[in-house]
Amino acid sequence: MKKLLFSMLVLGLSITSCDDDDDYQTIESIDTIKIDSVKIVNDTMDVFSIQSIKTYSTYPSHCEGFYGYDYVHNDNLTRTVTAYKYITNGPCTQAMYTSANQINFSPRKTGTYTFKFWNGGNSWITKTIVVE
């Protein structure tokens, strides 16, 4: 997973605008962004079904935005999720905004799944989903 994240970082850093209008900014860096809240519609679901789990993060300006997740299977039933943001160069609106993103969860076995979403520092938001 770390190799994939590194590859995404290198690809993201190599993307530049070919347009003279400068509508697109170069990604300068990638960093973690805390997940402020998580919305799980159904805390019980069937095996092999799909559920979208939404996460919400607050960005300090429009020079930053959602880049991706680090979604780690710690064991059979535990998942840790860390969100990443991109940071661009150039002029941007300097207003805070909240963005929603999602993970599609499709369990392959029954059990009680524990999700831990990184909330900054050593803090995590813990959610559970029972799969029948």
- Residue 5 lies inside a defined structural domain of this protein: no
At 23, the pLDDT band (50, 70, 90 cuts) reads low
In the chain, the number of structural domains is 1
DSSP string, 101-117: EEEEE--SS-EEEEEEE
Q: Is residue 10 part of a domain?
A: no
Length, in residues, of the chain:
132
Q: Is residue 8 part of a domain?
A: no
pTM: 0.80
CATH number of the structural domain spanning residue 42? 2.60.40
**pLDDT (tens digit per residue) in 41-88:** 999 999 999 999 999 999 999 999 999 999 999 999 999 999 999 999
Whether residue 12 is contained in a domain is answered as no
Residue 51's domain spans which residues? 27-131
Burial class of residue 7 (count of CB atoms within 10 Å of its CB; 0-12, 13-18, 19+): exposed
Report if residue 11 sits inside a domain. Answer: no
For the cut 90, the answer to whether the pLDDT of residue 12 exceeds it is no
20 has a pLDDT exceeding 50? no
The answer to whether position 59 is within a domain reads yes
Q: Which two tokens stand for residue 2?
A: 């770390």
Residue 38 lies in a domain: yes
Q: Is residue 52 part of a domain?
A: yes
- Side-chain half-sphere exposure of 91, counting CA atoms within 13 A: 3
pLDDT for position 4:
46
The answer to whether the Cα torsion of 93, 94, 95, 96 is positive or negative is: positive
Contacts of 131 (CB under 8 A, 6+ apart): 44, 45, 46, 47, 107, 109, 110, 111, 112, 113
